A and B are shown apart, each in its own frame.
Chain A
Amino acid sequence: GDSVTQMEGPVTLSEEAFLTINCTYTATGYPSLFWYVQYPGEGLQLLLKATKADDKGSNKGFEATYRKETTSFHLEKGSVQVSDSAVYFCALNHAGNMLTFGGGTRLMVKP
């Protein structure tokens, strides 16, 4: 079945550092890929998505590119802020099926 693997956290960075959170997936065909974010004390919310190979999703300074050849969807941000501290979840689905989530990666940004 489908699966999503994320790098284990926590990832600890200083403010303005470059962020990469790795995400790889196993799935048949061409799933859609997502990043969700969970800020402290809140539920998850959709951060960005990509629905086909080579698509780049972007939002709030975050980007991720759908790489079919490496089955990856790594999340990047050029300069993180303290307010980006959260747990980030990579997820995938095929049309009509439920989302499959990765284990989540906690990001801590220090001033």
Chain B
Amino acid sequence: DVKVTQSSRYLVKRTGEKVFLECVQDMDHENMFWYRQDPGLGLRLIYFSYDVKMKEKGDIPEGYSVSREKKERFSLILESASTNQTSMYLCASSFSVRELFFGEGSRLTVL
């Protein structure tokens, strides 16, 4: 089975802090994604990566950056967290852009 592991299930941070969300997949997938999930808005794509050191902006990249130094690891970075970044963050990986395999999510609260 494909396993996508997100490092933290729950985080509480203060406004202005730097936040790292880590994601690791074990299926040698080329593609990795970061989404945020908000009630009524569904999933919105923040960034994706189709190869090591490659990244592409999604629909809502503002306030976020990413890092992919190794194929299995894709990190989401909030340089200076703000309260409107309180959300559920979902990492996914895939061989094809059609069938994504998701992690369990990281719920971030910014105070």
Contact = CB atoms under 8 A, between A and B. Distances in A.
Contact of B98 (A4, A93, A102, A104): A93
Interface residues of A, number: 21
Nearest to B9: A41
Interface residues of B, number: 23
B74 interface: no
A80 B72 CA distance: 37
Interface in B42-89: 42-45, 48, 58
A89 interface: yes
A41 B99 CA distance: 20
B58 A98 contact: yes
Nearest to B31: A98
Contacts of A32: 98
- 3 nearest interchain CB pairs? A43-B102, A101-B42, A101-B43
